[in-house]
Amino acid sequence: MRALDQIQSNHKLLLIAGTREAQDLALWLSKMPKFDVLATVHGDARLPRDLPVKTRFGPFQNESDFENLVSKSGFQAIIDASHPFATDITEQALAISQRHNLGFMQFERKEWTATPEDRWITVKTEHDVKKHLSGCRKIMTFTGRSSIDKFMNIENIYIYNRILQSEGSAFPLSNGEHLYGQPPFSVEQEIALFQRLDIDAIVLRNVGGENGFSKLAAARALGLLVIMIERPKLKTPPPLRSLSEAQHWIETNYG
């Protein structure tokens, strides 16, 4: 991480970093002396913490805390490359950019899409999952530690929830447990895991990206049911979907 006083440039950009794509964009920006970039990382365990630009870590206390940083730092634009389901930070970033007349761009990777070989059911929230589990005895969820309470309406089905790190917190429901593992996982590893645990269905959010696709490929190979939680619909400008599009937007507006 660069020291805060190492970069001198004409264009100050705030990068909200919560995905692998944010890391790719940060790397490109770090090679462009005309940009002075500050990345803010909310502590996503999947994102490397050694970004090649100035970086602050930890969530904002509230929207006022976020806006205070923006107003005092002289940013010209906010680039939102947060997690696709981090809706609060995206909505706050857009509102703050509008109040301060700043540029705003959302950089969000493409969603996963089903093929004819897949058995997908799409739902809006975790609460909708229960109605599609007829005949299931064991499921595996990939929706994070904090989402498990949303599955309280699921009974008589065992829930394995995979998370990245063990932090000593007990599984909040009586019918399940956490599984710990560090990605990436190969398709073969996922197939072996699903078979060993006798999984009937997997539940995940449509975060997209290559790194997490192996579990979907494994489910396809085994003919497992996939319950996909769709991305929230936000009243934001259409996001850019590729690194080249994001680079073009930055160069066009601030190059």
Query: 169 and 238 in one domain?
Result: no
Q: Give the C-alpha separation, 203 to 230, whole Å.
A: 11
**Are both 124 and 183 inside the same structural domain?**
yes
Query: How many independent structural domains does the chain possess?
Result: 2
The CATH number that applies at residue 166 is 3.40.50.20
pLDDT at position 182: 87
Asked whether residue 56 is assigned to any structural domain, the reply reads yes
Same domain, 97 and 149: no
Under DSSP, the state recorded for 21 is H
Whether residue 135 is found in the same domain as residue 199: yes
For the domain that residue 88 is a member of, what is the CATH number? Answer: 3.40.50.720
> Is residue 1 situated within a structural domain?
no
Q: Which of 121, 126, 98, 103 is nearest to 232 (CA)?
A: 126
Question: Is 2 a domain residue?
Answer: no
CB 19 within 8 A of CB 209: yes
Check whether residue 102 and residue 137 sit in a common domain. Answer: no
- Does residue 6 form part of some domain? no
- Round to whole Å and give the CA distance between 171 and 161: 9
Give the side-chain half-sphere CA count within 13 A for 172. 11
- The answer to whether residues 212 and 134 belong to one domain is yes
| 62 & 153 share domain | no
Q: One digit per residue, pLDDT tens: the chain, 255 residues?
A: 444 444 444 799 999 999 989 999 999 999 999 999 999 998 665 676 789 999 999 999 999 999 999 999 999 999 999 999 999 999 999 999 999 999 999 999 999 999 999 999 999 999 999 999 999 999 999 998 889 999 999 999 999 999 987 766 789 999 999 999 888 999 999 999 999 999 999 999 999 998 899 999 999 999 999 999 999 999 999 999 999 999 999 999 997
Quick one: 180 and 205 in the same domain? Answer: yes
pLDDT score of 69: 96
Same domain for 138 and 45: no
The answer as to whether 61 is a domain residue is: yes
Q: Does residue 3 lie within any of the structural domains?
A: no
Residues 173 and 237 in one domain: no
Same domain? For 192 and 155 the reply is yes
Answer yes or no: do 218 and 242 share one domain: no
Q: Is residue 4 part of a domain?
A: no
Query: Are 83 and 225 a contacting pair, CB within 8 Å?
Result: no
List 123's β-bridge partners, or say none. Answer: 229
pLDDT at 3: 40
Q: The tokens of 196 are what?
A: 């060993």
Annotate 60-92 with DSSP letters as a single string: -SSHHHHHHHHHHHT-SEEEEE--TT-HHHHHH
Q: What's this model's pTM, rounded to 2 decimal places?
A: 0.89
Q: Which domain holds residue 79?
A: 11-110+233-254
CB–CB of 250/13 below 8 Å?
A: yes
